[in-house]
Amino acid sequence: MAISFEKIPVGWRVPGQYVEYNNERATSALDGMPSRAVILAQMADSGTAAANTALLTRNADQAGQLFGVGSMAWAMVAAFKKANTTTELWVVGIPDDPAGTKATGAITIATAPTNTGTLVVTVSGARIRLKVTATDSLADVAAALAAEINGDAQLPVTAAVDGVDPTKVILTCKWAGQTGNDIDLRGLYYADAIQAPGVTMAFTAMAGGAGNPEIDEAIAALGDRWYSDAVMAYQDSANILAMDAEVERRRGPMVAMDMHCWSAHAGSYTLLYGIGMARNTSGLTTMATTGSPVPPWIWAAAYGGQATFHLKQDPGRPLQTLEIPGVLAPADKDQLGPEERNVLLHSGIATFTTDGNSGVAIERAITGYRVNKYGFEDKSYLDCQTLRLLANLSFTTRARIAQRFPRHKLREDREQPPAPGTAVATPRVIKGELSCLYDQWAEAEWIESADQLRKDAIVQINADDRNTVDTLLPPDIINQFRVFKARIDFIL
């Protein structure tokens, strides 16, 4: 029997004692795939970061320096970190499209205060509070409100009193593009809040934003670094298709750096249904945010942060009931009922539930995949857990084979197996190593049965290329407990 040495030369005659180390069998732990997230979002001119460059970002304070406080990128980092402080986070700051336009809206002070009180305005889910008195005129209140808004650098808008109507405050999104149209303007959010006596306001919804930047350069900036999760602010078709193509590319066997993208979309039930039915994207999960005063890019970051953390903890466990921190539920009248949410879940849109107050939780994190290439309904990639489990099975398989057989010879099975210590692999040896991996998958509750996989797996040397091993692995992956049904047949 000839033991295979890596560093001690054959034919060495100098007396001595020589020992080398080999780590091929040093570890047998089931290490899951890497967890690393990236946010793609617009930056402000005040940011110091180079545009379309992926930067490791620690927290919201650093994001404020890199991308500008009040920018979309800064807000998304703050939301992600509120949900997930541990996952490594990178950010690609994207500049405005030069041809883009900024969304604008307005708040008009319709009646003046009749007594001292607190004026409350809600912009993008954030409350602006302003003390007013009975002596304040309509123009006084408008000017003070504009100053209060501009004094909060974290808001996504700037304010200015209208040059023609001094009772009107014009709000302008800090960046160009369609996303600014989703900035919500309202007075009171909480039902028990009290508005300043006598004051009434008229709100003109944000509109006119156009020209989202294209994310092609931002995607190119990701390079060859493995990101398990991406969070994207944009929902226009061009950017959705570009991100879906990148996710599919990374998931392919020749790249093998599986990634999933988390996003969110505002709009009515009818709008979201139409958007879901127009797409068929297994690599993206889009959360409905209907009626919420918090904009969808913040929803996407909070939702993505929560999902990224918990899918690393256990890729097979459902995300239902997990809180989405930092976002606000729609008013009761704006919330979708179970029948409507069920329709959205059949059209590729993920849904949430409310806790009866202002909080929300994930209901079901489905992907946008609905039909196969022939147009027939296909549930194979319906839930994000399926894709994350497959990614972990793929990663651990490749990691185990690379660790155990880094530089081995290959031959067919014979009656006599390779001697211990020799760098020789055979289909039976490889299948034995994979068998140990199946047990670990079963112990981690990633698959239903290791015995089934041992029975059905095929490992063989390729007939045309005798340096290649072909393997067929048909795991029965674990499912999720989502629905319980019961019929009570009672007797009196």
Q: Is the same domain home to 80 and 183?
A: no
The CATH number assigned to the domain holding 177 equals 3.90.1160
HSE-up of 415 (CA within 13 Å, CB side)? 0
- Look at residue 1 in the predicted model and tell me its pLDDT: 56
**182 located within any domain:** yes
Cα dihedral 297, 349, 248, 438 in deg (nearest 10) = 110
Q: Which residues of the chain have pLDDT under 70?
A: 1
Among 179, 207, 235, the domain-final residue is: 207
Express each pLDDT in 182-216 by its tens digit. 999 999 998 888 899 999 999 999 999 999 999 99
pTM assigned to the model: 0.94
Domain count of the chain? 3
d(CA 119, CA 429): 75
- Look at residue 221 in the predicted model and tell me its pLDDT: 98
**172 located within any domain:** yes
Express each pLDDT in 392-427 by its tens digit. 999 999 999 999 999 999 999 998 999 988 999 999
Among 147, 180, 207, the domain-final residue is: 207
Closest CA to 3 of 407, 424, 416: 424
Q: Is the same domain home to 226 and 364?
A: yes
Q: Is the same domain home to 165 and 111?
A: yes
Tokens in use for 351?
A: 């849904």
Beta strands in 29-125, from DSSP E residues, in sequence order: 36-42, 54-56, 88-94, 102-111, 117-123
Q: Is the same domain home to 133 and 162?
A: yes
Q: Is the same domain home to 82 and 226?
A: yes
Q: Is the same domain home to 249 and 363?
A: yes
Instruction: Give residue 340's domain range.
Output: 36-95+213-386
**391 located within any domain:** no
Among 166, 190, 207, the domain-final residue is: 207
Q: Is the same domain home to 233 and 252?
A: yes
**356 located within any domain:** yes
Whether 304 contacts 229, CB under 8 Å = yes
Q: Is the same domain home to 318 and 221?
A: yes
**277 located within any domain:** yes
